[in-house]
Structure 1
Amino acid sequence: MKRVLCAVTFSLGLASSIGMASEVTIGRWCDAFAPSVNITQTIEFVTSSNKSLTIRRSFSDGSGSETVLEELGNETYAEADASFGEKYRIVPSTGDLQLLDDDGLIRTAKRLENAPQEGECR
């Protein structure tokens, strides 16, 4: 995954210099956090031309949120101003996303393609 992040940095510079989109999707994941009631969220890491990293959540009920992330190292990221120590770790071997808090692993979200697909997160 580190190679992808390096490529994204290069792509951002190129996109800015030729006037292309100022946003790049780093990765997308499906999190079935309440499978018993069929509630899911799509998690997306996006970087922009100002090189900030953002997490976007789109919930199956149509709501969503967006928060700035800070890189901690070892493929781990934390939400800025996290009240419960919300952290995320990209698993190098699978590309899946571990959702963590101060007590440890909560659950793992499955990797999705970067381009949205119909019915991908159910």
Structure 2
Amino acid sequence: MTFNIGSQNAGVVNNVAGNQRIEGGQYGTLVTTEDALHAVSDLRAALDRVTLDQNTAVVANEHVDEIESELHSEPEPDRARVAQALERLTRLLTAAGAVATAGAALLGPLQALAGWLGGLGAPVLALLA
């Protein structure tokens, strides 16, 4: 049996040739590029409220600029590039103690962006754990 499946966008997709048994249920989270752009906006607002030294603030905003610029790329953003910038940003903010002091204000947007990245966001989620 051959499946010819076009583009799929969903939290959970099961393509099965044969029998499949699912117990319990399946859950997935879909974060759209629009959601990711909202997370960038929330991230900027949180960074404006966090106390960072000038150099750290400049570098953090450069990373956010890079993420936002890539999210606007056509025909679609390069997720690997966003992942690299997001990981650098997360490492910078955790080292500066900003994630611990700002709490959910930074955690929410960082986690949302990591969710948009899918598997590429796992290193960021590990840094935030």
TM-score (norm 1): 0.27
Higher Cα Rg, which structure: 2
Which has the larger helix fraction?
2
Q: Indicate the structure whose relative CO is greater, using CA pairs within 8 Å and at least 6 residues apart.
A: 2
TM-score (norm 2): 0.26
Which has the larger strand fraction?
1
